[in-house]
Amino acid sequence: MPWISDGGGGGSWKPSGGGGPWGQKPSAPQPDFEDLLRRVQGRLKSWLPGSGGGFGGARGALALLLLGVGVWLVSGFYTVGPNEVGLNKIFGRYTGKTGPGLNYNLPFPIGEVEKLAVTNRNTINVGFAWRPDGRNSVDLPEESLMLTGDENIADVKFVVIWQIDPSRPEDYAFNVANQRETVKAVAESAMREVIGRSQIQRILTADRRVIEPAVQELMQRILNEYKAGVLVLQVQLQSVDPPEQVIAAFRDVTAAQQDQNRMRNEAEAYANRVVPEARGKAAATIQEAEGYRLQTVAEATGQAARFLKIYDEYKKAPDVTRERMYLETMERVFGGMDKIILDQGAEGSGIVPFLPLSALADKQKEGTRK
């Protein structure tokens, strides 16, 4: 393959056929990036104002304006989290709410979006506050000391769990300022009202289960009247105690009342046992007396009837009746006695005037048994 000089003074050679040094075909020319960059810069300068052409400058300004408007409009896209609700505002006026996902509203300064975490549960402590270390709490007597219905003082500490109403988040955002402070003030007011209707002893014992739902219901009613957009989920009593200065005396009173209740229960149990027994004995005595009365009356009636019958027979045959009555009387009198019969007419006749009827009767009974 012939080689020719490139005509320069460097003494370089290249193949005469235009190929590579080994006879391969030449590759495509590589693009010049610097030249391409210069061309793009020239185009931009022709569109910018002040580049020398009147119409070209106006067209550049319009392009920049359109570009800026496009970027501004695109910035109106926003996302709402799964636990949030977006509130759209145009010139500060509420226009609607959006759910989780990608949404759009006119960007600032025309439009604005406020996002609220409607599923998060919030906690408010009334009567105490946690220290920064989270281990110990600080008592707040100005919040916890409350007056009861019987003019005693109770130290009440409780917790309120609440959240934003998912159906009315706009009420929470626009109707009430300082929402958390408002919920705390309503909680304290509701608790004071419920405690003010109760007595100290019932608050310390039986009414604790009644206080929590009563306060929750009252809080929800007040917040609904405010249109606060708040749902009260739960009210939890942490402690209900007398003031620290008189807590020992209250414990003594409680112990005495417990003793009183115990003794009253024992007395009632004794009365419940004795009274039925006494009533049963009284009823038995009355029944026995009634039976005796009926028996006595019946016997008297029978005796009177018997006497009348005998009297009727006596009028018909006085001698026979008299003899019969005599014999029946003798039988009734001497029937169960040992008897000795003496025959007075047998004296001097040699006959022993003795008849052992009792011995004969005993022998007859023994023979019957055999």
Candidates 187, 203, 218, 190; CA nearest to 153 is 203
Candidates 361, 317, 323; CA nearest to 339 is 361
Q: Are 219 and 133 in contact (CB under 8 A)?
A: no
Report the chain's C-alpha Rg in angstroms: 61
Candidates 182, 178, 184; CA nearest to 129 is 184
Position 21 scores a pLDDT of: 42
CA dist 307 → 41, 303, 332 (Å)? 158, 6, 17
Fold of 122-242: Tetrahydropterin Synthase; Chain A (3.30.479)
Amino acid at position 122, single letter = N
Say if pTM beats, i.e. exceeds, 0.75: no
The number of CA neighbours under 13 Å toward the Cβ of 343 is 12
| DSSP label of 94 | E
- Segments making up each domain of the chain, as ranges: 77-117, 122-242, 338-370
Render pLDDT for 111-160 as a digit per residue (tens, 0 to 9). Answer: 888 888 888 999 999 999 888 776 778 888 889 899 988 888 888 999 99
Amino acid at position 312, single letter = D
Render pLDDT for 160-209 as a digit per residue (tens, 0 to 9). Answer: 999 999 888 989 988 888 899 999 999 999 999 999 998 887 888 777 78
Peptide bond into 356 cis (omega under 30): no
Render pLDDT for 35-54 as a digit per residue (tens, 0 to 9). Answer: 766 676 666 566 555 545 44
Amino acid at position 322, single letter = R
Least confident stretch, 108-112, 269-273, 338-342: 338-342
Q: How many residues does the chain have?
A: 370
